[in-house]
Amino acid sequence: MKGRFLLYTQLILFVGLVVSCVTEFQPDKVSIAPSLIVEGTITNQPGPYSVKMTRTADYSYKSLNLLETGATVIISDNLGNQETLKEQAPGGTYQTSATGIRGVVGRTYKLTIRTRNGEQYESAPEVLKASPPMDRIYYEYRYDPQETNNGRANGWDVYVDTKDPETTGDYYRWEWTHYEFTFVCAKVYVFGSPSGYYSGIPCCSNCWDIKRCYINCINIMSDVNVNGNSISRQFIQRVPYDASTPYYLEVTQQSLSKGIYDFFKSSRQQVSNTGGLFDAAPASIGGNIHSTSNASLKAYGYFGAVGVSEGYILIDRSKAVGSPVSTADPVIINSLATCVTCANDQYRTPNKPRWWPN
């Protein structure tokens, strides 16, 4: 008994020593100098073109980028044509006019920036290269019986076929945009028993919701392995079964410079890193923006000249297995409410999509 008591005493003393030796770890604050970030392109399609500018915040304060307002932003070409972009509310985004400068295949473009505090930046010149036409946009229905969610079990995989030119050094990117007609331009939650619901306020005019891919969507390719040959079954998107109505999808094929291709490639690698042992070490992604007033100022992002070819497809979802599964909140339209103007931004538009069926 005495030995057991001694053992307990030693154990308590040991635990006490361990606890007393634990010191809370206070990591050093990470701080970086505020730097300009630029995102924008000019294409051979009609404008307006947008340039978004933010500035990195001090990470020891908050991990947000701050809108860069009050700057003078100019797009110019090698023939002397230029346009000063107009800042859009709430700020940080600068846009050309709808009838302003337009990208022309074969011309060289650059971006010039003068910030509100007098810093000056410039992008490296980029030649706008034509994108080959897309030969075919098509879809294939695929059902996965192992998937428990019927909205994901049914799906339509969209593909593109195109032809790579004989020239070497061609680089591509594919993007998609989904438009869906909406009667509701605002909604209000109504509390009730046993449960509440959303009351939908109708739009004052025709209106379309816009959906794009924002996460893990850098869909790029180099022609290094296919030069001069066909590019077949280039995957674009898997369309979900969230309704049985037709699904309208626009697809853009972009011809990139090597510089912007490398920029997107590095960005994709950083986004897809999982923190595994053999992942590439995180690194800042530069771009083609540099300061012309102070070489010590860092800038990130890219302004590119991009050739674009476009097309659309209308997907029939009426013959899928079972019922669709929507993740949207159910809305009851309040026909007596005062209508709301349809917004015209990246998420909604009153302008009918280019190939929308009548």
Give residue-wise pLDDT tens across range 28-51: 555 567 899 999 999 999 999 999
Q: Determine, yes or no, domain membership for 101.
A: yes
pLDDT value of position 29: 53
Beta carbons within 10 angstroms of residue 342's beta carbon: 19
Q: Determine, yes or no, domain membership for 18.
A: no
Task: Rounding to the nearest 10 degrees, give the CA dihedral for residues 260, 261, 265, 267.
Answer: 20
Beta carbons within 10 angstroms of residue 310's beta carbon: 19
Confidence of residue 328 (pLDDT cuts 50, 70, 90): confident
Q: Determine, yes or no, domain membership for 4.
A: no
Q: What is the mean pLDDT of residues 328-343?
A: 92
pLDDT value of position 15: 42
Q: What is the mean pLDDT of residues 257-265?
A: 95
pLDDT value of position 18: 44
Average pLDDT score, the chain: 87
The CA distance from 174 to 311, in Å, is 11
Q: Domain span at residue 37?
A: 30-128
Q: What is the mean pLDDT of residues 282-287?
A: 66
The closest of 261, 353, 265 to 310, measured between CA atoms, is: 353
pLDDT value of position 115: 96
Q: What is the mean pLDDT of residues 263-280?
A: 69
The CA distance from 152 to 76, in Å, is 46
Higher pLDDT, 249 or 330: 249
Backbone angles phi, psi at 11, to 5 degrees: -65, -45
Residues 260 and 176 grouped into a single domain: yes
Confidence of residue 261 (pLDDT cuts 50, 70, 90): very high
Q: Determine, yes or no, domain membership for 3.
A: no
116: domain CATH number is 2.60.40
Confidence of residue 58 (pLDDT cuts 50, 70, 90): low
Residues 103 and 74 grouped into a single domain: yes
Q: What is the mean pLDDT of residues 178-197?
A: 90
Whether the pLDDT of residue 224 is over 90: the answer is yes
Q: Determine, yes or no, domain membership for 103.
A: yes
Task: Give the percent of the chain with pLDDT over 70.
Answer: 85
pLDDT value of position 192: 78
- The total of structural domains in the chain comes to 2
Higher pLDDT, 140 or 63: 140
Residues 44 and 187 grouped into a single domain: no
Whether the pLDDT of residue 24 is over 60: the answer is no
Which range is least confidently modeled, 14-18, 60-64, 108-112, 234-238? 14-18
Residues 143 and 114 grouped into a single domain: no
Q: Determine, yes or no, domain membership for 7.
A: no
pLDDT value of position 4: 45
pTM: 0.83
Residues 186 and 333 grouped into a single domain: yes
CB 162 within 8 A of CB 132: yes
Tell which of 102, 128, 154 closes a domain: 128
pLDDT tens, position by position, 109-120: 999 999 999 999
Residues 135 and 123 grouped into a single domain: no
Q: What is the mean pLDDT of residues 354-358?
A: 92
Unique residue bearing structure tokens 């595994």: 276
Q: Determine, yes or no, domain membership for 352.
A: yes
pLDDT value of position 12: 43
pLDDT value of position 95: 96
pLDDT value of position 31: 56
Which range is least confidently modeled, 67-76, 274-283, 302-311? 274-283
Whether the pLDDT of residue 59 is over 80: the answer is no
Q: What is the 3-state secondary structure (H, E, C) of the chain?
A: CHHHHHHHHHHHHHHHHHHHCCCCCCCCCCCCCCCEEEEEEEECCCCCCEEEEEEECCCCCCCCEEECCCCEEEEEECCCCEEECEEECCCCEEECCCCCCCCCCCCEEEEEEECCCCCEEEECCEECCCCCCEEEEEEEEEECCCCCCHHHHEEEEEEEEEECCCCCCCEEEEEEEEEEECCEEEEEEECCCCCCEEEEEEECCCCEEEEECCCCCCEEEEHHHCCCCEEEEEEEEEEECCCCCCEEEEEEEEEECHHHHHHHHHHHHHHHCCCCCCCCCCCCCCECEEECCCCCCCEEEEEEEEEEEEEEEEECCCCCCCCCCCCCCCEEECCCCCCECCCCCCCEECCCCCCCCC
Q: Determine, yes or no, domain membership for 2.
A: no
CB 340 within 8 A of CB 186: yes
pLDDT tens, position by position, 306-322: 999 999 999 999 999 99
The CA distance from 293 to 146, in Å, is 60
The CA distance from 136 to 150, in Å, is 29
Confidence of residue 330 (pLDDT cuts 50, 70, 90): confident
Largest CA distance in the chain: 98
